Amino acid sequence: MIGNGRATIVNQVISQSHLFGTRVYVVAPIATTRETALKRLPFLIAGVMAMAAQAYAQDKPTVQLIATGGTIAMKIDPVKKAPVPAISGDDLMATVPDVAKYAKVEVNNLSNVPSDYMDPVRWTALTKAVEETLKRPEVAGVVVSHGTDTLEETAFWLDTTVKSDKPVILIGAQRNASSSDFDGPRNLLNAVRIAVDGQAKGKGAMLAMNNQINAARYVTKTHTANVETFQSGSYGLIGEVYADKVVIDRAPLRRQHIPIVASQMPRVDIVAMYGGADDRMLRSAVDQGAKGIVVQALGMGNVNMPMFEGIKYALSKGVPVVISTRVHNGRVMANYGFEGGGKTLADAGAIMAGDLTPQKSRILLMLLLQQGKTGKEDIQAAFDL
């Protein structure tokens, strides 16, 4: 008992429970009123259960959780009355003691930022952290917790830059940790189960949310709030997570590895085509130092006459231009022969992005440029893979 002049603190056993066959006692400093102690009880129990669970998991495979932030790491701020970064990877782990049934989980709190802040510098640091972890023989895989806004970009970046047969599983949450139906814990538990499952080897980076598994190349966010926001269009899921097992029934075949060799990524901008667009933004991007341009074109990869002139301007300055599309499914092709149609763009020297979205086309072009590949044939070959 310790008196401090204002309150008396007593260490007492305030709860006991059975966890994995072991009796766990929660021992904590309790204020003189039992009411205060009971308010703290859920947090104390969660922390002790997490520690006990990790002790139980010592003989299991190792998985590292690399926490980067996002809604999955947010709570409602009482002053701003809006979600803000608030919890760490360790806090998230404390919500899912059942992971101990499958793995010993380490936590690397790499950052805690909204995914809107992700950029090539942070992506490069993340690749380094993932590769260093996967090189360790005892590590079965890596789970990356991340915001959903740029989650598909980070997934494709890691799928392209990390060289390992071990799985990299990305997760996020559509509901923050203050929500009664917070989806973060379920996604984390599923991701750990996937990471230690032998079926996940050689599949590259995968996104695991809402009990569904999507390949990094094809997945995209399709709804601002729904928990089933991530979909892969006409390509579909590669697997699902059930209560009794993980099912992966196909493998993503169109993958390539591009190592990071530059200390800084070249600037690549995305310029959107729309009804009535002109070439001012495209020309400005070139004049302001862009080393590559991705055009979010229409249909199979078509633009109007002003944008066509802007594309030819960029190509005349030695700036590669990749043509993608705003359409969700299908691929761009050198098809239409009108001025600004896909055929005329390809004939002028533009690169066709195939089925890659504008944002993923930007990542691929950026990685190719940092390797020194600037010719149309080399770049087109990478997009055709």
Angle at 102 (CA atoms; ends 100, 108), nearest 5 degrees: 65
Task: Identify whether the C-beta of residue 372 lies closer than 8 Å to the C-beta of residue 265.
Answer: no
In the annotation, is 224 catalytic? Answer: no
Q: Is 21 left (phi over 0), alpha (psi -120 to 50) or beta?
A: left
Written as six digits, the tokens of 114 are: 């909204």
The residue with tokens 């806090």 is 91
Task: Identify whether the C-beta of residue 143 lies closer than 8 Å to the C-beta of residue 205.
Answer: no
Task: Identify whether the C-beta of residue 191 lies closer than 8 Å to the C-beta of residue 208.
Answer: yes
The residue with tokens 């997570």 is 241
- Cα–Cα distance between 357 and 375 in angstroms, integer? 21
Look up residue 97 and give its amino acid: P
In the annotation, is 160 catalytic? Answer: no
Task: Identify whether the C-beta of residue 109 lies closer than 8 Å to the C-beta of residue 87.
Answer: no
Q: Number of H helices and number of E strands within the chain?
A: 10, 19
Measure the N-to-C terminal CA separation of the chain; round to a whole number of Å.
70
Please tell me which residue in 62, 71, 124, 325 is annotated as part of the active site.
71
Q: Is 148 assigned a ligand-binding role in the annotation?
A: yes
Q: Is 149 assigned a ligand-binding role in the annotation?
A: yes
CA 41 to each of CA 10, 94, 307: distance values in angstroms, whole numbers, following the listed order? 15, 14, 63
- Cα–Cα distance between 234 and 208 in angstroms, integer? 18
Helix axes 280-287, 305-316, angle to 10 degrees: 10
- Cα–Cα distance between 314 and 35 in angstroms, integer? 69
Please tell me which residue in 148, 325, 344, 357 is annotated as part of the active site.
148
Task: Identify whether the C-beta of residue 172 lies closer than 8 Å to the C-beta of residue 145.
Answer: yes
194-222 burial code (b ≥16 CB/10 A, e <16):
bbbbebbeebbbbbbbbbbbbbbbbbbbe
Residue 359's nearest CA partner among 326, 321, 318, 312 is: 326
Annotated binding site for substrate: which residue ranges? 115, 148-149
Q: Which residues carry out catalysis?
A: 71, 148
- Which residues contribute to the annotated binding site? 115, 148-149
